[in-house]
């Protein structure tokens, strides 16, 4: 290169630039640009035509001494280092931006996953609540609570005799018709401070309406109150129920009851008031109407039946004998 050539010649001659020349090359003109910078015009003699020179080019060059050369080299190195540092900084900035972008993308993904998880959990919760409400709406109410509350109020305020029970019944029968409507029952229970739910009171009313006449008679209510079994009789009924609950599931299918039931020793059969088949059909009809779970009889419902059937029997031994006769075991 021309500049390198001139610089090399300057180092070789260690002379002012104006005095430098070599064979075949002539410095035609130079002028100072200030300090150590020079511009020069160079002509070169043609090899095949001695004495004939050809214009080469105009050069710009710096005439450097050793100190200037060192300073120039240092500056060039610093410039190169600055370029390298700048590129390094640019690369670091790019890497930081990429890392930050990846970090923000990860946060976005995690936030999206969290939102999706929360939405899935909320959806599952709503579905479970929906299923619970549906099950609650279709499930038969548990009458054990309201039965106990009514019996407790009657016993505490009126006693368990017929007169006391009749006084309670008449106080609820505000129209003096000798029977309760659903409104009579709801108002009466509320007046006596007996809590109930809408579903519960309807089920209790249907339970007492044994004749399905949309009314509750005194006889039905009286049998209900008096039919609560004593602990000793409850144990007898539980033992009898266990004998027919062969699967120990706590329920017995209604259509399997005839396999274990013997109507021949029933009082009405023995007196000729009904046949064995009629007695059995009456028993099945009772459970079909009163069973909270269609087609199944629970131990509590079994006890309710015998409480209402033999409420008038005062002797526990007689009560146990009738149970034993009615449920001797599976028929052959």
How far, in Å, are 141, 244, 253, 260, 291 from residue 256 at the CA level? 24, 9, 5, 8, 14
Per-domain boundaries in the chain: 2-64, 80-139, 144-226, 231-326
Q: From CA 262, how far away is CA 38, in angstroms rounded?
A: 137
- Residue 69, φ and ψ in degrees, nearest 5: -65, -40
pLDDT at 135 over 80: no
**Out of 61-65, 169-173, 234-238, least confident range:** 61-65
Q: What is the pLDDT of residue 112?
A: 92
- Please choose, from the candidates 235, 275, 280, the residue with its C-alpha nearest in 3D space to the C-alpha of residue 260: 280
Q: What is the pLDDT of residue 139?
A: 61
Taking the domain 144-226, which CATH number applies? 1.10.238.10
Give 65-78 as a DSSP string: -HHHHHHHHHHHHH
**Out of 71-75, 107-111, 214-218, least confident range:** 71-75
Report which of residues 296 and 69 the model is more confident about. 296
Q: From CA 206, how far away is CA 291, in angstroms rounded?
A: 12
Q: What is the pLDDT of residue 182?
A: 93
Q: What is the mean pLDDT of residues 193-219?
A: 88
Q: What is the pLDDT of residue 190?
A: 93
Q: What is the mean pLDDT of residues 116-121?
A: 92
What pTM was computed for the model?
0.50
Report which of residues 192 and 60 the model is more confident about. 192
Q: From CA 96, how far away is CA 103, in angstroms rounded?
A: 10
Q: Does the domain at residues 231-326 carry the CATH identifier 1.10.238.10?
A: yes
Q: From CA 332, how far away is CA 319, in angstroms rounded?
A: 25
Query: pLDDT category, 294, cuts 50, 70, 90?
Result: confident
Q: 3-class SS at 43?
A: strand
**Out of 45-54, 89-98, 197-206, least confident range:** 45-54
Q: What is the pLDDT of residue 216?
A: 92
Q: What is the pLDDT of residue 52?
A: 57
- 155: number of CA atoms within 13 Å, CB side? 11
**Out of 7-11, 51-55, 74-78, 102-106, least confident range:** 7-11
Condensed to tens digits (0 to 9), the pLDDT of residues 210-220 reads 778 889 999 88
Longest dimension (CA), the chain: 164
Q: Do domains 144-226 and 231-326 have the same CATH topology?
A: yes
């Amino acid at each position: 290169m021309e500049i390198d050539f001139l610089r090399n010649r300057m180092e070789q001659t260690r002379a002012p630039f104006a005095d430098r020349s070599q064979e075949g090359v002539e410095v035609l003109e130079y002028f100072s640009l200030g300090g150590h910078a020079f511009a020069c015009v160079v002509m070169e003699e043609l090899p095949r035509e001695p004495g004939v020179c050809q214009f080469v080019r105009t050069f710009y060059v710096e005439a450097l001494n050793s100190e200037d050369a060192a300073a120039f080299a240092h500056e060039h190195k610093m410039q190169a280092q600055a370029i390298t540092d700048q590129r390094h900084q640019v690369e670091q900035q790019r890497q930081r931006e990429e890392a930050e972008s990846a970090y923000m993308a990860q946060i976005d993904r995690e936030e999206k996953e969290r939102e999706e998880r929360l939405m899935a959990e909320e959806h599952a919760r709503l579905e479970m609540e929906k299923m619970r409400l549906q099950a609650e709406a279709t499930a038969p109410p548990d009458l054990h609570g309201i039965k106990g509350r009514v019996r407790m109020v009657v016993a505490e305020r009126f006693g368990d005799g017929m007169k006391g029970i009749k006084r309670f019944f008449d106080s609820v029968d505000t129209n003096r018709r000798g029977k309760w409507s659903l409104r009579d029952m709801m108002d009466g229970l509320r007046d006596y401070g007996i809590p109930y739910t809408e579903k519960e009171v309807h089920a209790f009313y249907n339970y007492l309406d044994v004749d399905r006449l949309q009314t509750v008679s005194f006889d039905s209510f009286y049998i209900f109150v008096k039919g609560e079994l004593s602990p000793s009789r409850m144990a007898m009924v539980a033992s009898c129920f266990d004998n027919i609950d062969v699967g120990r599931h706590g329920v017995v299918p209604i259509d399997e009851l005839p396999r274990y039931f013997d109507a021949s020793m029933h009082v009405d059969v023995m007196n000729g008031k009904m046949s064995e088949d009629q007695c059995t059909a009456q028993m099945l009809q009772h459970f079909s109407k009163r069973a909270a779970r269609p087609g199944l009889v629970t131990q509590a419902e079994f006890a309710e039946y015998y409480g209402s059937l033999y409420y008038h029997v005062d002797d526990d031994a007689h009560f146990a004998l009738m149970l034993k006769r009615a449920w001797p075991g599976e028929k052959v």
